[in-house]
Amino acid sequence: MTDRIQGNHKDNRMDVLFYGQALSSPLMLGTAQYPSPEILRDAVLAARPGVVTVSLRREAAREKTGQAFWSLIQELGVPVLPNTAGCHTVKEAVTTAHMAREVFGTDWVKLEVIGEQDTLQPDVFGLVEAARILSEDGFKVFPYTTEDLVVAERLLACGCEVLMPWGAPIGSGRGLNNVFGLRALRAHFPGVPLVVDAGLGVPSHAAQALELGYDAVLINTAVARAGNPAEMARAFSLAVEAGRLGRAADPMEERDMAAPSTPVAGKAFLG
């Protein structure tokens, strides 16, 4: 069981497909909370993400600025993953997903059904139900979930081919709160694309997620609220690449005791 939870450091997940499509980068970038469209543009160009996520509800609420935002996203030429951010019920999430499909012309959707206001923890019961409905409607669902193995099984059984467990509460910047749970999820579902979504605050958190064998990370607040979003976006881009390459390079195993890096052979001894 221990070996299973630790995972296999010799695996190479460089060519993972998300619903049959390879991403150009293991970095997914959110588009909310940026101080201006220009700063968002600079951050996306610096990050070179595989996809950008967009909340239909959040942007539609901006009324007249909404169309300008859509135009900016289209100009950037990055694949879009619409999300159902802000939805608290199955009906809300399903309706929002259908609206997003009409607006963006994609069956991909990041599914959020929030169940607890302080932590923004997913309502896993509603999440599974909404995922089932959307999968039956032809959507390719990216569910924002916890690291719970049973919930993961239910989501896969209802048609999801990707899982997006949280690292920590949305916007908290706390990193990977439950490394053991994330390792267990990776080990139990070795063939499933996994994305750490939410709670990452600094580039080293993203590198750690890729080193654990995760296939991508989704970042928003850590970049949007940085003093220099473009520089932070670039830092995350480098971090995910370092983490991915480090995982593929078969890292050394941890030890409880020290091991000398310099051989003792040929060492001079004083009599």
Q: Say if residue 43 carries a ligand binding annotation.
A: no
159 in a labelled binding site: no
In sequence order, which residues have a C-beta less than 8 Å from that of residue 66 and are 6 or more positions away? 59, 60
**Residue ranges of E strands in the chain:** 17-18, 21-22, 27-30, 51-55, 80-83, 108-111, 140-145, 164-165, 195-197, 216-219
Phi and psi at residue 241, to the nearest 5°: -70, -40
Is 89 annotated in a binding site? The answer is no
Beta-strand relationship, 216-219 and 51-55: unpaired
Active site residue 110: yes
Is 171 annotated to bind ligand? yes
- Which has the closest alpha carbon to 112: 139, 149, 91, 87? 87
8 marked as binding residue = no
Contact between residue 241 and residue 247 where contact means Cβ atoms under 8 Å apart: no
From 10, 91, 110, 140, active-site residue: 110
Binding-site residues for 1-deoxy-D-xylulose 5-phosphate sit at 171, 198-199, 220-221
**Active-site amino acid positions:** 110
- Residues annotated in the binding site, as ranges? 171, 198-199, 220-221
